[in-house]
């Protein structure tokens, strides 16, 4: 009995220390967001002078007002929505039928096609040949080019194919009896049964599109087509130059720092709104991919 008390006292200490560490880690994950939000609502001079810690100093929405009046902000924001939803839609149009075909046992050359897809995970031609290819195809500086060029990847196809393969044949038998063709079996049997896998793929596609900046920066020269992240990077580049050359804009109620922070907040907000909906699919969906990447 004495023993048991001893253990449980130890356990209590263990539990509290553990909780405290988790709280510390969680707060340090959260803190940069709070910091950026505080900077974005601070007066320009306070934001530039580095006195903001966790709450706005001389609270103002001047930075947001400045951002809202910037036409490029709205254009790029709209473009991000186009790339996110258009891109995800096109991705599904290619990935879903492709993964279904790969999962069919009667497909001739199935092993070959699977290898054909998987090989691209192991070997990639790299940035330059991809870029030259895009130029040769005439897909620079176009919405369609950016959307189609990143519509597909081996990982998502394999994830969905594995899910399709795990669906028992018996589910489609009734549909087959009614004379359904392959398109109908895919549409009426497999897609409704694959909601968790599809939700995961939609999540991956949308997050990649929303956050993608590198190829958008390389392929798009026309400012009217750039997504929000490329615009944000341009603003951040001025912030970085400022630092290097010691320049500062201090005479306004907004500054480079507070404006950058405001754009970052505007870019994070849709993710935060969407986040609770996608979160329930994490555990389920991520494990579908398993240890596959």
Partner 1 sequence: MAEHNSTSEGRLIRLYDHFKREWQIYVLLLPMIIWFLVFLYKPMYGLQVAFKDYSIFSGVANSPWIGLEHFNTLFGSDQFMRAIRNTVIISIYSLCVGFPMPIILALMFNEITHHAFKRTAQTIVYLPHFISTVIIGGIVITAFSPTAGIVNLFLGWLGFEPIYFLIKPEWFRPIFIGSGIWQEAGFSSIVFLAAIAGVNPSLYESAVVDGASRWQMMWKITLPSILPTIIIMLIIRIGNLLEVGFELIIVLYQPATYETADVINTFIYRQGLQGAQYDLAAAAGLFNAVVAFVLVMTANTISRRYSRTSLW
Q: Should residue 1 be labelled a site residue for partner 1 when binding is judged by CB under 8 A?
A: no
Task: Give the three-state DSSP class for 48.
Answer: helix
Query: Alpha-carbon distance 20 to 62, whole Å?
Result: 38
Q: Kindly tell me which residue out of 1, 5, 32, 273 binds partner 1, with binding defined by CB under 8 A.
A: 32
Q: Kindly tell me which residue out of 18, 165, 192, 277 binds partner 1, with binding defined by CB under 8 A.
A: 18
- Which is closer to partner 1, CB of 57 or CB of 61? 57
Q: Name all contacts of 202-208 with Cβ < 8 Å and 24+ positions apart.
A: 202/88, 202/92, 203/278, 203/281, 203/285, 204/156, 205/87, 205/88, 205/91, 205/92, 205/156, 206/84, 206/88, 206/274, 208/150
Q: Should residue 177 be labelled a site residue for partner 1 when binding is judged by CB under 8 A?
A: no
Instruction: Tell me how far, at minimum, the Cβ of 58 lies from partner 1, in Å.
Output: 15
Alpha-carbon radius of gyration of the chain:
25
Instruction: Tell me how far, at minimum, the Cβ of 88 lies from partner 1, in Å.
Output: 15
Instruction: Tell me how far, at minimum, the Cβ of 268 lies from partner 1, in Å.
Output: 7
Q: Kindly tell me which residue out of 72, 82, 94, 199 binds partner 1, with binding defined by CB under 8 A.
A: 94
Contact region for partner 1 (CB under 8 A) — 57-65, 168-176, 191-199, 204-212? 204-212
Instruction: Tell me how far, at minimum, the Cβ of 227 lies from partner 1, in Å.
Output: 10
Contact region for partner 1 (CB under 8 A) — 65-73, 164-172, 189-197, 259-267? 259-267
Q: Should residue 19 be labelled a site residue for partner 1 when binding is judged by CB under 8 A?
A: yes
Q: Kindly tell me which residue out of 78, 89, 127, 144 binds partner 1, with binding defined by CB under 8 A.
A: 127
Instruction: Tell me how far, at minimum, the Cβ of 279 lies from partner 1, in Å.
Output: 6
Contact region for partner 1 (CB under 8 A) — 59-67, 68-76, 193-201, 266-274? 266-274
The burial of 109, by beta-carbon neighbours within 10 Å (0-12 exposed, 13-18 middle, 19 or more buried), is given as exposed
Distances (CA, A) of 36 to 15, 52, 154, 235, 272: 32, 9, 36, 15, 15
Q: Should residue 269 be labelled a site residue for partner 1 when binding is judged by CB under 8 A?
A: no
Q: Are 228 and 267 in contact (CB under 8 A)?
A: yes
- Which is closer to partner 1, CB of 93 or CB of 174? 93
Query: Alpha-carbon distance 151 to 41, whole Å?
Result: 37
């Amino acid at each position: 009995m004495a023993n048991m008390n001893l253990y449980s006292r130890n356990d209590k200490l263990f539990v509290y220390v553990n909780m405290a560490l988790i709280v510390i880690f969680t707060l340090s994950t959260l803190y940069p967001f709070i910091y950026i939000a505080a900077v974005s609502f601070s007066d320009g001079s306070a934001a530039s002078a580095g006195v903001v810690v966790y709450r706005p100093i001389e609270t103002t929405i001047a930075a947001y007002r400045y951002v809202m009046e910037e036409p490029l902000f709205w254009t790029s924001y709209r473009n991000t929505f186009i790339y996110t939803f258009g891109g995800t839609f096109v991705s599904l149009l290619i990935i879903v039928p492709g993964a279904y075909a790969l999962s069919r046992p009667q497909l001739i050359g199935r092993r070959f096609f699977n290898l054909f897809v998987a090989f691209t995970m192991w070997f990639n031609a790299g940035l330059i040949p991809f870029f030259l290819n895009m130029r040769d195809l005439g897909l620079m500086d176009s919405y369609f080019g950016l959307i189609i060029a990143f519509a597909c990847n081996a990982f998502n196809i394999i994830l969905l194919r594995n899910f399709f393969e795990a669906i028992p044949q018996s589910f489609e038998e009734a549909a087959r009896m009614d004379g359904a063709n392959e398109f109908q079996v895919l549409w009426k049997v497999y897609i409704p049964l694959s909601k968790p896998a599809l939700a995961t793929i939609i999540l991956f596609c949308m997050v990649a599109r929303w956050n993608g900046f590198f190829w958008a920066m390389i392929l798009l020269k026309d400012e009217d087509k750039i997504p929000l992240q490329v615009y944000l990077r341009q603003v951040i580049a001025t912030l970085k130059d400022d630092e290097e050359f010691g320049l500062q804009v201090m005479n306004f109620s907004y500054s480079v720092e507070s404006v950058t922070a405001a754009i970052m907040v505007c870019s994070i907000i849709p993710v935060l709104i969407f986040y609770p909906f996608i979160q329930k699919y994490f555990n389920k969906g991520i494990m579908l991919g398993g240890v596959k990447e």
